[in-house]
Amino acid sequence: MSLVSHVLQRQLQLPAPRTRRVAVDRDLRVPMRDGVELLADRWAPKVGADRLPTALVRSPYGRAGVFGLLMARTLAERGYQVLIQSVRGGFGSGGVLDPMRQEREDGLDTLDWVVKQPWFGDSMVLVGMSYLGYVQWAVADSLPPEVKAMIPVVTESALTREFMRADGRSLELPFEWGAMVATQERPLSMFRRNAQAKKTERAMRVLPLQDADLDAIGSRSQYIQDVLAYDADDPHWDRLDHRHRVAATSVPVSSVTGWYDIFLPGQLRDFRVLQDAGKAARLTVGPWTHAEPMGSVVTEAIDFGLAHARGEEPPERAPVRLFVMGQDEWRDFESWPPKGYEPQRLHLQADGALSVGMPDESEPDTYRYDPADPTPAAGGISISHGGRVENGTLEARPDVLTYTTAVLEDDVEVVGEVSAEVWFRSSLAHADVFVRLCDVDEQGRSHNVCDGLTSLASAEELTRAEVGLWPTAYRFKSGHRIRVQVSSGAFPRYARNSGTGEPIATATTLRAADQAVYHDPEHPSALFLPVRSLP
């Protein structure tokens, strides 16, 4: 048994291996309909491998390292044969990588090839996280009968479109990913990750952004250029959008995600579509960022995937299992969003207060936002440094407003969709409104719970900005306080708003703006929390 498998067994309480002797058949050639061949490795027990269920993993990140040792070997030791395939254009596979645009056809061709192999048994399970989960949705409505289950983790069926929203343009997530994919096969790349991360971070400040890929990776990245050139509604992205396939999925689906995952809203949408369509589906949401549920891929493949592959029922549990942060416990529900949680308005008040009552007459609060010194992101949604962090330094900035409740006499439990409406005016037409929900403990330390941003194009007029925050499950304990931050950015998670209205790719001028947040009876800015009454 490998060291990685041994550590996983102890930490994740995996079943003991059925075998410790695993072999790898490398560089299998899988033909595509256009003549291109994609390479794959087959991991399997040395004895008795044929006819075992197959776990199919399709990846743009190679077939060795974490995917080979953590996923493939661990699963091969516990009842699977595992096929890891490099997608088109990477790690020896033929063709040119065109991220996410070729996965429908290549995925279907791969499925067709696998079921015809002499070593294939009667069943297959699709497994993987992030891009490796997205490729499952690309074929979800056309699965052969041999596929018995899907396990998409920290992913969604329209993977990139959330990044390119015209009313909330991400920068860090697609830029970091584009730079990583462009450099991951360079010599000694794994030893240069820290240096590359610093180059990428510096490049995101380059103007115009259309030249930033040259600074980050030394060459053009078509993916980064496309991200900058086309927003989410452009037909350019239509081939990447597989939302219409979700309801037609024919196999049980176990979705796993985290409250600080970059794809959380889309994954919850996909699960709700499955439930509304009457499909067999379950959902697990933990207190995780994007990279943290790796172990859950393995546990779900064993507990959920193997059971379905063998024609058995997986261990019984509720359809929805959520980790309620603050209370720090797992809870079971029947649906998403759970029933019994009603929206409650918390109104922004004068002097930085936050309460249920309507605000009194008051002057707006003001701050100055300067994109040359953009309000930074602190934790939250990020590939590399997200999650729950202390927000004291952020809240001390003059371009961040805070509104805080009195000390809570009782616990307040929030589970579901969170949103805000902020009456807002800027000295410029183009401005952003960022809202963050925080928990302030007895020592006055503020930690982020969830957040979101929206961009305005007529902000010089008094506007009611509607901001969708990330969903959450959180219990604010008695003795704590609830806090709302309002600012105009979270860089580099979101691209900084130049204030000029120039296209994001070509903008070169940065204009500072004076912002105003209103909270009076005619303009009742508020946070909406789905709250359940507690005994």
pTM, two decimal places: 0.95
Phi, psi of 259 (to 5 degrees): -65, -20
Q: In this predicted structure, what is the pLDDT of residue 67?
A: 76
pLDDT per residue over 243-263, tens digit each?
A: 999 999 999 999 999 999 999
The mean pLDDT of 347-360, rounded to a whole number, is 97
The tokens of 130 are what? 């992030």
Three-state secondary structure call for residue 297: helix
Residue 193 pLDDT grade (very low, low, confident, very high; cuts 50, 70, 90): confident
Among candidate residues 41, 107, 39, the one with its CA nearest the CA of residue 68: 41
Alpha helices in 427-512 (DSSP H): none
Residue 6 pLDDT grade (very low, low, confident, very high; cuts 50, 70, 90): very low
Residue 12 pLDDT grade (very low, low, confident, very high; cuts 50, 70, 90): low
Q: Choose between 122 and 66: higher pLDDT.
A: 122
Strand partners, 450: 437
Q: Where are the beta strands (DSSP E) in 6-61?
A: 22-31, 37-45, 54-59
The alpha carbon of 50 is separated from its chain's Cα centroid by a whole number of angstroms, namely 36
pLDDT per residue over 460-472, tens digit each?
A: 999 999 999 999 9
pLDDT per residue over 492-515, tens digit each?
A: 999 999 999 999 999 999 999 999
pLDDT at 231 over 80: yes
CB–CB of 517/424 below 8 Å?
Answer: yes
CATH number for the domain whose boundaries are 3-161+236-333: 3.40.50.1820
Extents of the domains making up the chain: 3-161+236-333, 170-230, 342-532
Q: In this predicted structure, what is the pLDDT of residue 2?
A: 46
Please state, in angstroms and as integers, the Cα–Cα distance from residue 107 to each residue in 70, 88, 140, 155, 364, following that order. 23, 10, 10, 17, 54
Q: Choose between 56 and 232: higher pLDDT.
A: 56
pLDDT at 4 over 60: no
281-289 vs 253-260, strand pairing mode: parallel
pLDDT at 166 over 80: yes
Please state, in angstroms and as integers, the Cα–Cα distance from residue 505 to each residue in 51, 164, 225, following that order. 52, 12, 8
Q: In this predicted structure, what is the pLDDT of residue 13?
A: 65
Strand partners, 425: 516
Q: In this predicted structure, what is the pLDDT of residue 533?
A: 67
- In percent, the amount of the chain with pLDDT more than 70 equals 97
pLDDT per residue over 394-414, tens digit each?
A: 999 999 999 999 999 999 999
- In percent, the amount of the chain with pLDDT more than 90 equals 87
Q: In this predicted structure, what is the pLDDT of residue 3?
A: 40
- Least confident stretch, 64-78, 132-146, 495-509: 64-78
Q: In this predicted structure, what is the pLDDT of residue 8?
A: 45
pLDDT per residue over 513-528, tens digit each?
A: 999 999 999 999 999 9
CA atoms of 491 and 371, how far apart (whole Å): 9
Q: In this predicted structure, what is the pLDDT of residue 50?
A: 80
Fold of domain 342-532:
Jelly Rolls (2.60.120)
Answer whether the bond into residue 371 is a cis peptide, omega within 30°. no
Q: In this predicted structure, what is the pLDDT of residue 529?
A: 98
pLDDT at 17 over 50: yes
Q: In this predicted structure, what is the pLDDT of residue 14?
A: 79
How many Å is the Cα radius of gyration of the chain? 24
